[in-house]
Structure formats: structure tokens, C-alpha cells
Amino acid sequence: MIFEQLSLGNMKNFCYLFADSQSHEGFVVDPGFDHVKIMEAVKRLKINLTRIIFTHHHFDHINAANPVKAQSGAEIICHRETAPLLHGAASYDRLIDDGYTFKVGGRKVVCIHTPGHAPGAICLLVDDKWLVSGDTLFINDCGRADLDGSDPQKLFDSLQRLKTLPDHLIVCSGHNYGPAATRTLGEEKRLNPTMNARSLEEFCKLP
Ligand SMILES: [Zn+2]
């Protein structure tokens, strides 16, 4: 599979491109900034872009979606709880729920609803190799739970749910906030304090 991690904007955001190596059908996750750079990468990698997916509604994950859609014709996909929070900053074509699955070429992508940082937050399990985690899980940390629409209990539960996924997955988070650009989920389970909190109380006490 073709994989590209793009660092965009001035908030250390990561945007991701995935495509099937054979058919070159692909999708972009979180086009937050700089549609020119995103479309340059799409052309360089010869990706036939069919989907634009938001991990959640925050502006730094959606801002460049409309121009990318205009230039590629890709459909915009988000969780149904994300749609009312976009407030016209980006359009959408398809609303999804937990477990929504699609294929690019022969490769499977599963969307997992992981609320807490934002109500409609999702993670994407890509080809049983990558876990695109948005602002739910960062390398060695997790997203904020004190924003409008955040819920610490739900974020704690979502992180517990992610812990049930296999260790070999490569965590692709929404921001470059950690000691590395990516780590495996096994490493996060071992090293990330937010994944190791044993209770909500302990989770909320973390710095
Ligand atoms: Zn966010």
C-alpha cells in the first residue's frame, strides 16, 4: 500500500495519504491545511483520490477539504456526529457510524468510533497495518478532553477500546506532538501513560 505522512500548517498537524499500490485508488485523512501540497503529493504518488475522511470536526483537520474535493472529485466522509459541528467550514457527502468499512483496491479500511476528544471522533484501521488515530491517541499522549464537546469518560473508554487492537499496528496520529512521528500500538500500550491509566480518576490526574 502507498502511505504518505504529510506535515502541514503551523500546529504540527499530520495529514495522511493511503492508496492501493496496484489500482492506485486512495484516500486522504484530515486535509487540514495547504491543499496545494496535498494535491502535489496526490499527483506525485499517482493516486486516484476517491475519498476524503475527517477523524473529527476541528478546523485544523478539515480546512483544506473543499479545495481538495473540487480538484479531485473525491467524496467527503465523516461520522454522523461530526457533520453538525462542521458549520459549513467543509462539506460532506457520506455520514458513517462505528464499523463502517470500505475497500481501496483489495485493501480493507475499518472506521472505529472513538468519541471523547470530539463527539464524532473516529480512528481508521487501514489494511490491518496502520491505525490512524486523529486526536484520540497521540504518540505518548492523547487528545484534550477539556474542549467544547469533549468527554473524559468517553476518551478513557475509547483508549481502552484501542488497547484491544493488535500490537503491530503503526499509530498515525493527528499531530506531531510526541517523541517520534509514529510508533507501534504495542509501544503505546507499554509506554503511553494515557493508555495505562487504570481508572477515570487516574486518567484525569495525568498532566
Ligand atoms: Zn482536535
Question: Tens-digit pLDDT profile for the chain (207 aa)?
Answer: 999 999 999 999 999 999 999 999 999 999 999 999 999 999 999 999 999 999 999 999 999 999 999 999 999 999 999 999 999 999 999 999 999 999 999 999 999 999 999 999 999 999 999 999 999 999 999 999 999 999 999 999 999 999 999 999 999 999 999 999 999 999 999 999 999 999 999 999 998
Q: Give distance in angstroms: CA of 195 to centre of ligand 1.
A: 18
- Using CA atoms of 28, 29, 35, 40 in order, give the dihedral in degrees to the nearest 10: -40
Residue 132 has a pLDDT of: 98
Domains along the sequence of the chain with CATH? 2-205 (3.60.15.10)
pLDDT value at position 24?
97
What pLDDT does 60 receive? 97
Position 182 scores a pLDDT of 97
Ligand 1 centre distance from Cα of residue 16 (Å): 15
List residues bridging with 124 in a β-sheet: 111, 132
143 CA from centroid of ligand 1 (Å): 7
38 Cα to the center of ligand 1, angstroms:
20
pLDDT at residue 207 in the model: 87
According to the model, what pLDDT value does residue 103 have?
A: 97
| 23 CA to centre of ligand 1 in angstroms | 32
Name the grid cell of 131.
491505525
Burial 179-205, CB ≥16 within 10 A → b, else e: eeebbebebbeeebebbebeeeeebee
Q: For residue 181, what pLDDT is reported?
A: 97
Residues facing 113 on adjacent strands:
122
Q: For the chain, what percent of residues have pLDDT higher than 70?
A: 100
**In one letter, which amino acid is 3?**
F
pTM, two decimals, is 0.97
